[in-house]
């Protein structure tokens, strides 16, 4: 199945807890069928102590979501326009 979503595209989440939110695609993982969207599906990760981060930390990062749960923002606008007519 062909995927038209690329890194840098603006997408709208159409299913799940973040339904209706918009974000920019950070990364596409085609083998897994998942994408990373900026500001969507954030989870807390515990970072280990390193020389760069001597105290360690709890950091929020985006987790991937399935590509079927998003739609290009340009297409989403077209569909909304058809509903109103």
Mean pLDDT of 2-28: 91
User: What would the pLDDT profile of 69-83 be if each residue is shown by its tens digit?
Assistant: 999 988 877 666 554
Contact partners, residue 60, CB within 8 Å, separation at least 6:
42, 43, 44, 45
CATH 3.40.50.300 fits 10-84, yes or no: no
> 37-58, pLDDT tens digit by residue?
999 999 999 999 999 888 989 9
pLDDT value at 12 more than 80: yes
DSSP 14-54: -SSTTTT-EEEEEEEETTTTEEEETTSSEEEEEEPP-SSST
Q: Where are the domains of the chain?
A: 10-84
């Amino acid at each position: 199945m062909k995927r038209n979503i690329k890194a840098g595209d603006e997408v709208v989440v159409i299913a799940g807890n973040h339904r209706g939110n918009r974000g920019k695609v950070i990364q596409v993982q085609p083998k897994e069928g998942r994408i990373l969207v900026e500001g969507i599906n954030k989870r807390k990760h515990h970072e280990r102590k390193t020389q760069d981060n001597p105290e360690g930390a709890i950091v929020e990062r985006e987790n991937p979501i399935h590509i079927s749960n998003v739609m290009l923002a340009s297409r989403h606008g077209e569909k909304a326009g058809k509903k109103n007519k």
